[in-house]
Amino acid sequence: MIPEERQDSPGTGEESTRLQAAGSVRKGCDILAQTQRGRLQSRRACIHQQISKELRMRTGAENLYRATSNTRVRETVALELGYVNSSLQLLKEELEELDCSVDTDGPSSEGITVPMIPLGLKETKELDWSTALKELISGHFGEDGSSYDSEIRELTDLRQAMRTPSRSESGLELLMAYYNQLCLLDARFVTPTGSLGLLFHWYDSLTGVPAQQRALAFEKGSVLFNIGALHTQIGARQDRSCPEGAGLAVEAFQKAAGAFSLLREKFSRAPSPDMSPASLAMLEQLMIAQAQESVFEGLLLSAPGGPHDGSAQLRLAQEAAQSSHCPVHGQVAAEYELAHRAMAQPPVRDYVPFAWTTLVNVKAEHFRALAHYHVATALCDGPPAEAELPVPEQVLLGAPAEPWCPALPQEPEERRKLGKAHLKRAILGQEEALRLHAVCRALRSVDLLQVVLGQALRRSLAKYSELDLEDDFFEAIEAPDVQPKTCQRPEVKVPNFSQVKVADIFHRLGPPSVFSAKNRWRLTGPVHVTRGEGGFGFTLRGDSPVLIAAVIPGGHAAAAGLQEGDYIVSVDGQPCKWWKHAEVVARLRAAGGEGASLQVATLLPSAEPPGTGDRRPALRGLLRSQKACGRETPGPARASPRPLLGWGRKAKRGKTGGRLSPAPQP
């Protein structure tokens, strides 16, 4: 709606140099975008704190005013209340200006189109992954946490880059790549009842108030929110004065609605107002309304025949219509009416920007008026032949108590009278839209919106003057409502995270199906196993990692202490957690008579911590749940995590059959 300011603050150059030196400059990252947004976000949070303080002071003063009967005290309190109310008004006006400057944007073209409402991204503080992950790797996985410095640095750089995504498809891919990495982290490091021990800080997009949680789900939900917000910014920047731009805007707003819908379904305990179910439902409805508006603009650009095509004009009227008598939704004015109702409901109305509520109301009036204008154009400028007009029942509505629908007249004079009545309603609606526009201080500075509304009103007045005859003394009829109907109902499109493939950063830790914080195991070894006449004395099964399915009593493996259910994690000092069954067998066969040195891991009950020493028998249930040989295992290059948030849900493991392979024979 208002172009976002991109002023460079002091220290921008130093910040850019520091980020580049840290390796945070990635494809899709706009490192210069964070300075202005971060400063405005901090200012908004400060204003909200001041407003909360003033409200508490006003409540105390009002209680004192009601409780005291002293005249002098009451006069002093009344004076103080005046000061507090004045301060509150100034703070709210300043907050309104900040909301418009950071959360709205305009199209990148010179075409005259109604401004859209994009959503500002949630800001976050820097996060130190190092301490928590190193402790977890050392304590739970039994490996040296410092050896994973490069992986932790890569994760840190990815998070730093996604804080400032560019407003493009590359920026969306960056956010989705980080989201997929969070899904992998969730599967590997987070237990069903625990957390990583990190405190995630994010700022509310609507109020700027900070919120924090230790759950990784909060980080995932905030990133998903930003994916939806970035779609809104991309949609608002499209050149909707051409059919291609209008189509891209429809697609972007549909995907934004899908992101907010997915977040509302998966995130139940919101720590901030912008992620509450009521706010997400409002944002979803707002995006659907803006997608429907883009559909109308595309239809307007492709309408054949211009004002002389009566059928096209009536289709435009139904596309723009809104009627309180009709339960059918999907048209521009009707969708904006639903969005305005959602914004006016508590608790959303307490923190949604007033400029948004006003603009949505302005658009509802504007497109309702456009519906009547296009009906008048079809009646007065279209051909008189009845065959050229659609079925009357599909266009106009009668009063609520009247079951019948008024017919479109075929006589020129009757058409002129009805067209004049529709123009009158169009003019009244456009005047109301301009009045609402003038009420909002933030919208008064949006020149483009005033130009669009002014042009529509002047066009209706000019048309009305053509139809208004000097000897027109008949009583003006009341124009009926227009039946809403759309040729394209925008659908919610959930983001497809599988399109962005990522490599598991902590791939070296092994397959998450076994080596994750959800499982407990004990490492043993290295254990040296020699080859006898019957081989090593054990049978292998499965891939990544390979499982010891059976141990022959009295054999060399049993003598070395190997047990059924052990997973082979290294052979002769080389990690083999990701090796295939055939690779481990080939390596053991190549060992010769000297034997091989194996390190194994044994799954334990959840109550027993991982470590070394005496082991308990492997859990049969966990063994049966592991995938056997022949399953698809993620390689070191690519991994595709599950696309949903999945917080509070246990990961499901598949069950497949496996084959048994005896130990290599001498």
Domain boundary among 54, 73, 101: 101
Q: How far apart are CA 68 and CA 57, in angstroms?
A: 17
More confident residue, 483 or 257: 257
- Average pLDDT of the segment spanning 343-366: 91
Of the two residues 52 and 169, the one the predictor is more confident about is 169
- Averaged pLDDT for residues 277-298: 93
Q: How confident is the model at residue 316 (pLDDT cuts 50, 70, 90)?
A: low
The pLDDT-based confidence of 623 (bands split at 50, 70, 90) is very low
Burial of 327 per CB tally in 10 Å (0-12, 13-18, 19+): exposed
For residues 618-627, average pLDDT:
36
Q: Which of 59, 84, 101 is the last residue of a domain?
A: 101
Mean pLDDT taken over the chain: 77
Spell out the alpha helix ranges (H) of 577-644: 581-589, 620-625
Choose between 295 and 49: higher pLDDT.
295
Q: Is the pLDDT of residue 366 over 70?
A: yes
Does residue 37 have a pLDDT over 60?
no
Task: Look at residues 57, 73, 101 and tell me which one is the last residue of a structural domain.
Answer: 101
Q: Identify which has the larger pLDDT, 650 or 299.
A: 299
Question: What pLDDT is stored for residue 520 in this prediction?
Answer: 85
Asked if pLDDT for residue 306 goes beyond 70, the answer is: no
pLDDT of res. 223: 96
Query: pLDDT class for 323, splitting at 50, 70, 90?
Result: very low
Q: What is the pLDDT of residue 86?
A: 85
pLDDT higher than 80, residue 317: no
Does residue 638 have a pLDDT over 50? no
Q: Which of 234-238, 295-299, 449-453, 468-472 has the lowest mean pLDDT?
A: 468-472
Q: Is the pLDDT of residue 656 over 60?
A: no
* Residue 378 pLDDT grade (very low, low, confident, very high; cuts 50, 70, 90): confident
User: Is 599 contained in some domain?
Assistant: yes
Q: What's the number of domains the chain is made of?
A: 2
What would the mean pLDDT of 498-526 be, rounded to a whole number?
A: 89
Distances 46 to 51, 210, 272 between C-alpha atoms, Å: 9, 10, 16
pLDDT at res. 31: 61
CA distance 379 to 584: 82
Q: Which percentage of the chain shows pLDDT scores above 90?
A: 31
Cα-Cα-Cα-Cα dihedral sign, residues 124, 492, 215, 511: negative
Averaged pLDDT, 264-269: 84
If you average pLDDT over residues 581-604, what whole number do you get? 87
Average pLDDT over residues 39-55: 74
Residue 594 belongs to domain with CATH number: 2.30.42.10
- How long, in residues, is the chain? 666
| Averaged pLDDT, 291-316 | 70
In a domain, 656, yes or no: no
CB 543 within 8 A of CB 629: yes
| pLDDT (tens digit per residue) in 384-399 | 544 444 444 455 544 4
**pLDDT (mean) for 495-524:** 90
Which residue would you say has higher pLDDT here, 21 or 351? Answer: 351
**Alpha-carbon span 205 to 99, nearest angstrom:** 9
* Burial bucket for residue 82 (CB in 10 Å: 0-12, 13-18, 19+): exposed
pLDDT of residue 591: 81
pLDDT at position 315: 64
Q: What is the pLDDT of residue 112?
A: 57
**Mean pLDDT of the region 36-54:** 71
- Residue 644's closest CA among 496, 514, 512? 496
Q: Which residues pair with 603 in a beta bridge?
A: 521
Residue 469 lies in a domain: no
CA–CA dist 28, 19 (Å, integer): 14
Q: Which of the listed ranges 250-259, 366-375, 435-444, 594-603 does the model predict with the highest average pLDDT? A: 250-259
Nearest to 186 by CA among 221, 154, 162: 221
Residues 6 or more apart whose Cβ sits within 8 Å of residue 203: 41, 45, 122, 123, 124, 209, 210, 211
**83 residue type, one letter:** Y
Give the domain extent around 95. Answer: 36-101
In whole angstroms, give the CA distance from residue 443 to residue 96. Answer: 10
Count of other CB atoms within 10 angstroms of residue 458: 11
In a domain, 544, yes or no: yes
CB 108 within 8 A of CB 3: no
**Is the per-residue pLDDT at 298 higher than 60?**
yes
The whole-number pLDDT of residue 268 equals: 73
Does residue 622 lie in a domain region? no
Please provide residue 567's backbone torsions phi and psi, each rounded to the nearest 5 degrees: -100, 130
State the average pLDDT over residues 511-517.
89
Domain membership flag for residue 400: no
Whether 151 maps to a domain, the answer reads: no
Q: Identify the pLDDT of residue 568.
A: 92
Find the range with the poorest average confidence among 227-231, 400-404, 547-551.
Answer: 400-404
Of 287-301, 430-444, 518-532, 596-610, the least confident: 596-610
Give 173-223 pLDDT, tens digit per residue.
999 999 999 999 999 998 877 778 899 999 888 887 888 999 999 999 999
Question: Contact at 8 Å (CB) between 124 and 212?
Answer: no
Confidence of residue 628 (pLDDT cuts 50, 70, 90): very low
Which of 107-111, 261-265, 476-480 shows the highest mean pLDDT?
261-265
- According to the model, what pLDDT value does residue 303 have? 58
Name every residue whose Cβ is closer than 8 Å to that of residue 353 and which is 6 or more positions away in sequence.
Answer: 96, 99, 100, 103, 206, 442
pLDDT tens sequence across 148-171: 999 999 999 999 999 989 889 999
Distance between CA atoms of 386 and 377, rounded to whole angstroms?
16
Q: What is the pLDDT of residue 626?
A: 40
State how far the alpha carbon of 593 is from the alpha carbons of 40, 120, 390, 538, 583, in Å: 71, 67, 91, 16, 19
Percent of the chain with pLDDT over 70: 72
Between 226 and 12, whose confidence is greater? 226
3-class DSSP assignment, residue 181: helix
CB hemisphere CA count around 357 (13 angstroms): 17
Cα 288 from Cα 492, distance rounded (Å)? 8
Q: Evaluate whether residue 160 is within a structural domain.
A: no
Tell me: pLDDT of 17 over 80. no
